[in-house]
């Protein structure tokens, strides 16, 4: 992948070394990697049951995904069982849902993991019963049982966010140093560290050179994490950062990993009566697209859920027909015990400058940009 090589060169590492390193960077795991699918596809009857276990509805993309899976699987002739985890008992809910899908004889189970590290027992039981497991959007860790991963390129998402933060601040104020704060997602979601690492690959050199200063000094992912991806947790942390660090100091930018948290950060800053910093985001949520058009939130990421679901359903169709599904990455996603063959889609940065073109083909978002 291009970003891996670019990063390797930037870090002064040789390409081979950087390719090896990238596997564990996306996962936090360090196990010896094996790539490729675990078994040859055998095919199954066309009207089989397909299970889809999604996390709690922590952002609009998950809400959209549920409807798209229900309709798309039906149109493709499958029976489907689409479930969401509840917002407080997420892990137990999802474990029970996957077990129920297995009992009902699902041939493929698509999983958007609530907690990357808590599903190995259920996933392995499902495999034992003959199901193929596709990790959707979020990787499942520490199990051989996951066969495929379908997602937008999460590291690239982080890189785009980091670059947007720098660009946005430079547009507002020609010369640094710029003072920023960093937020990351929920630590039980494998994506959170990948987004953060991608962003830090862009920001760290600027922090090291003094062009960018993290006002609070909180640069460790443990300090920046937002439990459960919950808006109230981000808002609370922003409130306390403003009190502790920004009495007289100006905050120029905030790295926010998604739109829900971006809006919580903006609410906090407004509540404190401070000038709005440059704030990044992700997901193209309706309220954030409106905020970008209004000149408040600076950026978001377009990861069109329709394409991600379509790609996943294509994998299901291939498996049904006894074909090996297409993947385009067999290096990046080490889940701790194996490298999971992946199909990665390209994310797109969206700011006020390209908001009209970015959503021209999205019937829900296009009207908001006119
Ligand atoms: C998804 C993001 C989303 C976040 C919170 C992540 O795993 O990739 O798109 O914003 O979860 O729901």
* Ligand 1 atom at minimal distance to the Cα of residue 62: 12
> What is the SS3 assignment for 110?
strand
Tokens of residue 228, six digits: 């459960």
Cis peptide before 177 (omega within 30 of 0): yes
Q: Give the Å distance between the CA of 190 and the centre of ligand 1.
A: 10
Identify which of 87, 151, 229, 233 to mutate to test ligand 1's pocket (most ligand atoms within 8 A of the CB): 229
Radius of gyration (C-alpha) of the chain in whole angstroms: 21
> Do 161 and 95 belong together in one domain?
no
User: Is 12 inside any structural domain?
Assistant: no
pLDDT (tens digit per residue) in 34-61: 434 444 457 999 999 999 999 999 999 9
How far is it, in rounded angstroms, from Cα 306 to Cα 69?
A: 9
How far is it, in rounded angstroms, from Cα 258 to Cα 249?
A: 25
> Do 255 and 198 belong together in one domain?
yes
User: Is 218 inside any structural domain?
Assistant: yes
> Do 93 and 64 belong together in one domain?
yes
> Do 159 and 276 belong together in one domain?
yes
> Do 186 and 242 belong together in one domain?
yes
> Which residues are CB-contacts of 170 (< 8 A; sequence separation ≥ 6)?
none
> Do 214 and 262 belong together in one domain?
yes
Residue 338 lies in domain: 34-152+304-347
Q: Give the Å distance between the CA of 59 and the centre of ligand 1.
A: 7
User: Is 25 inside any structural domain?
Assistant: no
- For the domain that residue 323 is a member of, what is the CATH number? 3.40.50.2300
How far is it, in rounded angstroms, from Cα 130 to Cα 283?
A: 34
Q: Give the Å distance between the CA of 46 and the centre of ligand 1.
A: 31
> Which residues are CB-contacts of 58 (< 8 A; sequence separation ≥ 6)?
87, 228, 229, 230, 260
> Do 191 and 271 belong together in one domain?
yes
> Do 158 and 111 belong together in one domain?
no
- Residue 265: the pLDDT is 98
> Do 252 and 316 belong together in one domain?
no
Q: Give the Å distance between the CA of 154 and the centre of ligand 1.
A: 10
Indicate the helix (H) or strand (E) that contains 342: strand 342-345
**Helix, strand and coil percent figures for the chain, each rounded to 5:** 45, 15, 40
* Ligand 1 atom at minimal distance to the Cα of residue 257: 10
Q: Give the Å distance between the CA of 138 and the centre of ligand 1.
A: 8
pLDDT (tens digit per residue) in 124-156: 999 999 999 999 999 999 999 999 999 999 999
Identify which of 282, 287, 288, 297 to mutate to test ligand 1's pocket (most ligand atoms within 8 A of the CB): 282
- Residue 42: the pLDDT is 79
Identify which of 283, 304, 342 to mutate to test ligand 1's pocket (most ligand atoms within 8 A of the CB): 283
* Ligand 1 atom at minimal distance to the Cα of residue 189: 7
Segments of the chain with pLDDT less than 50: 1-25, 28-40
- Residue 26: the pLDDT is 66
Q: Give the Å distance between the CA of 49 and the centre of ligand 1.
A: 26
Alpha-carbon torsion 223, 59, 329, 199, what sign?
negative
DSSP result, 256-287: -SSHHHHHHHHHHHHHTTPPP-EE---S--HH
Please, what is the end-to-end C-alpha distance for the chain in angstroms? 36
User: Is 340 inside any structural domain?
Assistant: yes
User: Is 296 inside any structural domain?
Assistant: no
* Ligand 1 atom at minimal distance to the Cα of residue 151: 8
Q: Give the Å distance between the CA of 283 and the centre of ligand 1.
A: 8
> Do 169 and 277 belong together in one domain?
yes
How far is it, in rounded angstroms, from Cα 243 to Cα 259?
A: 23
Nearest CA to ligand 1 atom 10: 258
Q: Give the Å distance between the CA of 83 and the centre of ligand 1.
A: 17
> Do 164 and 277 belong together in one domain?
yes
> What is the SS3 assignment for 124?
helix
> Do 171 and 259 belong together in one domain?
yes
Identify which of 139, 233, 258, 345 to mutate to test ligand 1's pocket (most ligand atoms within 8 A of the CB): 258
Indicate the helix (H) or strand (E) that contains 345: strand 342-345
User: Is 210 inside any structural domain?
Assistant: yes
User: Is 353 inside any structural domain?
Assistant: no
Q: Is 32 exposed, middle or buried (0-12, 13-18, 19+ CB in 10 A)?
A: exposed
* Ligand 1 atom at minimal distance to the Cα of residue 229: 5
Tokens of residue 97, six digits: 């849902």
> Which residues are CB-contacts of 78 (< 8 A; sequence separation ≥ 6)?
46, 47, 48, 49, 50, 316, 320
Ordered strands of the 132-136 beta sheet: 79-84, 49-54, 108-111, 132-136, 148-152, 342-345
Contact residues of ligand 1, CB 6 A cut-off = 58-59, 61, 137-138, 185, 189, 191, 229, 258, 282-283
Question: 79 and 69 in contact (C-beta within 8 Å)?
Answer: no
Which one-letter DSSP state was computed for residue 141?
Answer: P
How many domains would you assign to the chain? 2
């Amino acid at each position: 992948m291009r970003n891996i090589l670019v990063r390797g060169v930037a870090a002064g590492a040789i390409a081979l070394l950087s390719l090896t390193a990238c596997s564990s960077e996306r996962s936090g795991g360090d196990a010896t990697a094996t790539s490729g699918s675990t078994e040859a596809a055998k095919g199954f009857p066309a009207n089989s049951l397909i299970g889809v276990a999604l996390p709690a509805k922590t952002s609009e993309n998950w809400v959209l995904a549920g409807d798209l899976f229900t309709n798309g699987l039906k149109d493709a002739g499958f029976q489907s069982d689409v479930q969401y985890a509840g917002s407080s008992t997420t892990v137990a809910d999802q474990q029970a849902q996957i077990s129920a899908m297995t009992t009902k004889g699902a041939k493929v189970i698509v999983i958007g993991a609530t907690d990357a590290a808590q599903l190995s027992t259920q996933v392995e039981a499902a495999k034992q019963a003959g199901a193929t497991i596709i990790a959707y959007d979020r990787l499942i860790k520490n199990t051989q049982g996951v066969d495929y991963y379908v997602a937008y390129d999460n590291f690239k998402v982080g890189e785009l966010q980091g670059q947007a933060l720098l660009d946005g601040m430079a547009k507002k104020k020609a010369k640094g140093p710029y003072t920023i704060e960093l937020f990351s997602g929920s630590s039980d979601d494998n994506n959170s560290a990948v987004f953060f690492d991608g962003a830090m690959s862009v920001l760290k050199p600027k922090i090291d050179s003094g062009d960018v200063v993290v006002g609070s000094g909180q640069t460790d992912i443990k300090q920046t994490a937002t439990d459960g991806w919950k808006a109230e947790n981000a808002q609370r942390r922003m409130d306390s950062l403003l009190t502790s660090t920004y009495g007289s100091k100006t905050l120029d930018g905030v790295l926010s990993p998604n739109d829900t948290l971006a809006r919580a950060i903006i609410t906090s800053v407004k509540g404190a009566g401070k000038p709005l910093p440059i704030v990044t985001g992700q997901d193209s949520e309706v309220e954030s697209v409106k905020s970008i058009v209004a000149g408040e939130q600076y950026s978001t990421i377009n990861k069109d859920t329709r394409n991600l679901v379509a790609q996943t359903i294509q994998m299901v169709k291939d498996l049904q027909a006894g074909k090996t599904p297409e993947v385009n990455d067999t290096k990046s996603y080490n889940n701790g015990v194996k490298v999971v063959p992946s199909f990665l889609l390209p994310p797109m940065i969206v700011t006020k400058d390209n908001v009209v073109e970015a959503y021209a083909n999205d019937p829900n978002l296009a009207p908001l940009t006119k």
